[in-house]
Chain A
Amino acid sequence: MYVYDDFDRTLVAERVADFRDQVARRLAGELTEDEFKPLRLMNGVYLQLHAYMLRVAVPYGTLSSRQLRTLARIGRRYDRHYGHFTTRQNLQFNWIKLSDLPDAMAELAEAGLHGMQTSGNCVRNITTDQWAGVAPDEIEDPRVWAEILRRHSTLHPEFTFLPRKFKIAVTAAKRDRAAVRVHDIGLRLHKNAAGEAGFEVIVGGGLGRTPFIGKTIKPFLPKRDLLSYVEAILRVYNQYGRRDNIYKARIKILVHELGAEKFASEVEAEWLTIKDGALAIDPALVTAIASHFRYPRYAPLVDNPPELARARGNDAAFDTWFRNAVARHKAAGYAIVTLSLKPEGGPPGDATSDQMDAVADLADRYSAGEIRVGHEQNLVLPHVAQRDLHALWQALDAIGVATPNVGLVSDIISCPGLDYCSLANTRSIPVAQELTRRFRDLAAQRELGRLHINISGCINACGHHHVGHIGILGVEKNGEEFYQITLGGRADEEAELGALVGPAVPYAEVADMVEDVVAAYRELRAGPQELFIDTVKRIGVEPFKERVYAAR
């Protein structure tokens, strides 16, 4: 858990006071909408179809139980008793009133929460592995580096008016759970041959209208140079990035047009002028920031305790959930537990205020008061003693967050789509809901194995459809909703963009189409052990196209 210091508290409180004044002046007519809009956006306040939307930052996806209770209360007091966890580890309130926002933000600030860096052309909330600090396959906690970058970027004047928004993700594990190769900057902390830890720096990844997998421009960057190198990248971007065309303004376009090699040489030249200056990271700073992250005192426990083995043997439903939602922890006798926010028929990523309160209580009881948010729009309890898993599961099941579908076909990532979003062309959530009904048979889901469906309601790709094993993109044609299907995308360490399987289908046929794709996979896979993504990689999309379009 990250513990705020006086500087953090003062910064957030001052921002609330500023915003309260700005809202009052706007409502009094002293500020025009053109003057006010950039101010509200700097605090994560959007105007959507039906209402204002407040996006609350969850830095590196870590929440305390107190913070989650605060979010529950905000939802209850100022919104419609629920919130939506996003693909960038944030939380959105969809129905909040402008006139209530200053009070809501003041309550958030008391819990160390805010909407800074969740909107606008700045360095956005820095994301990381939702298992950071507890994953057995990581070399160290990447959140320390995310926090160093957050501190450097929050009020940095050069980074406040970038050509376009800028997203950074950090991972320190072998398995990439942070999708670092599809970010503006992806940072992969790893060890070199000498055993030293440093960063692989990946630049120019991104989805949206023009998707790219990021290019590695620095295979190994010493830790001390992280800030200076990131600053050099942002300076080159600030200098050469397109400001004349919003569709070409992201750094991915610059890297593509310049070429990764030329871009890297520009960064290198800039970096050499600043690398040994004030931005060189003093190890004492790292130690100081690391000290803000508090870890629970793990009890000396053993893996697979008798209570767990007994419960798994006696309770098949628990055993099914355990196999699906529980992962190994770095500390013996503990586990990482994923809470599915993807119940059958539910909007992906939504949690009610009651659920948030209940999860906060369970975090206090079983997970050292800590909760994580993953970009897959699920929650995580990161410090659960294995002996407590059966009791925890019963409590999670009672509040509807123990559907054993994590990583399976009904664990769908979806943007809010046209039901909420002013940019969307088509609906996303109802498509996801229908798919969860079509694939409601959990045994059949398990038999399919890992299969990610990602849905976006427009080309902005907030649902990350390009990197879904099955990607669904909504497009409007003559006022009607149509959906393109892509296959073979993935966001992990072998990141790939999906390939279009064929012509778009109308809303009424999209669930049928996905069922047909899955049926084709069953026919085409080399055997039950071959995952969907591996089948597509082995044979390409053509055999799928032949089958699913044959009857259309």
Chain B
Amino acid sequence: MTAPSQQKLKINGSAVVTANRLGDGAVVYRAAVGGWTTRLDAAAIVGTAAEASALLTEANADERQAVAAYVAPVALSGGHIEPANLRERIRLAGPTFALPASFGI
């Protein structure tokens, strides 16, 4: 019901800042090197509310490139990064079923 961008900032573990690219709405992440990236493994990772807040502020100031930024949880394991909830898994990988044109109905 409430979009993540409208929720209070809470950090419980590692997180990234994600948004949608202005021109096409594609899912992007605030990059470790600055700017935005479509690759989660290139995202800047934060671990505290203060870090997340600072990264979010930076992201929101760049709304010419991406919009509706918010903090999303991630799971780190053996140097690998993954979305930590279903919503973010779907944002990263797309719908969980084959799109209509691809199964020929």
The distance in angstroms between the C-alpha atoms of A429 and B90, with both chains bound, is 13
Interface pair B26/A50, CB less than 8 Å apart: yes
B33 interfacial by beta-carbon distance below 8 Å? no
Please judge, given known A-B contacts A418-B86, A420-B95, whether A352 and B63 are in contact too, CB under 8 Å. Answer: no
Residues in chain A near residue B101, CB distance under 8 A: 80-82, 352-354
| Majority-rule SS of B interface residues | loop
Give B24's nearest chain A residue, CB to CB: A97
Of B22, B85, B95, most buried by chain A (CB within 10 Å of CB) is B95
Interface pair A50/B97, CB less than 8 Å apart: no
Shortest beta-carbon distance from B72 to chain A in Å? 12
Complex A-B: 23 CB contacts under 8 Å: A27-B23, A47-B20, A47-B25, A49-B91, A50-B25, A50-B91, A50-B94, A52-B25, A81-B100, A81-B101, A82-B99, A82-B101, A98-B23, A346-B100, A346-B103, A400-B105, A418-B86, A418-B87, A419-B97, A420-B95, A423-B3, A430-B96, A459-B1
Please judge, given known A-B contacts A51-B24, A81-B101, A400-B105, whether A33 and B87 are in contact too, CB under 8 Å. Answer: no
Interface pair A32/B100, CB less than 8 Å apart: no
Interface pair A49/B105, CB less than 8 Å apart: no
Q: Residues on A close to B: CB < 8 A?
A: 26-27, 29, 32-33, 47-52, 80-82, 97-99, 209, 343, 345-347, 350-355, 400, 418-420, 422-423, 425, 427, 429-430, 433, 458-460, 479, 481
Shortest beta-carbon distance from B16 to chain A in Å? 16
B81 interfacial by beta-carbon distance below 8 Å? no
Interface pair B96/A419, CB less than 8 Å apart: yes
Residues in chain B near residue A99, CB distance under 8 A: 23-24
Interface pair A350/B97, CB less than 8 Å apart: no
Give A400's nearest chain B residue, CB to CB: B105
The distance in angstroms between the C-alpha atoms of A425 and B1, with both chains bound, is 6
Contact with A along B1-38 (1 / 0, CB 8 A): 10100000000000000001011111100000000000
Interface pair B1/A49, CB less than 8 Å apart: no
Interface pair A422/B24, CB less than 8 Å apart: no
Shortest beta-carbon distance from B18 to chain A in Å? 11
| Majority-rule SS of A interface residues | loop
User: Looking at chain B, what size class is its interface with the partner chain?
Assistant: 20 to 34
Please judge, given known A-B contacts A350-B105, A433-B97, whether A458 and B1 are in contact too, CB under 8 Å. Answer: yes
Interface pair A47/B67, CB less than 8 Å apart: yes
Interface pair A418/B24, CB less than 8 Å apart: no
Of B27, B64, B85, B99, most buried by chain A (CB within 10 Å of CB) is B99
Residues in chain A near residue B90, CB distance under 8 A: 49, 418-419
The distance in angstroms between the C-alpha atoms of A133 and B90, with both chains bound, is 43
Contact with A along B62-87 (1 / 0, CB 8 A): 01100110000000000000000111
Shortest beta-carbon distance from B93 to chain A in Å? 10
Residues in chain B near residue A50, CB distance under 8 A: 25-27, 91, 94
Q: Other than A33-B63, A353-B101, A459-B1, give 20 A-B pairs with Cβ distance below 8 A.
A: A47-B68, A48-B25, A49-B27, A50-B26, A51-B26, A97-B23, A98-B24, A99-B23, A209-B1, A343-B105, A346-B105, A347-B100, A350-B100, A351-B100, A420-B95, A422-B3, A423-B1, A427-B86, A430-B96, A479-B85
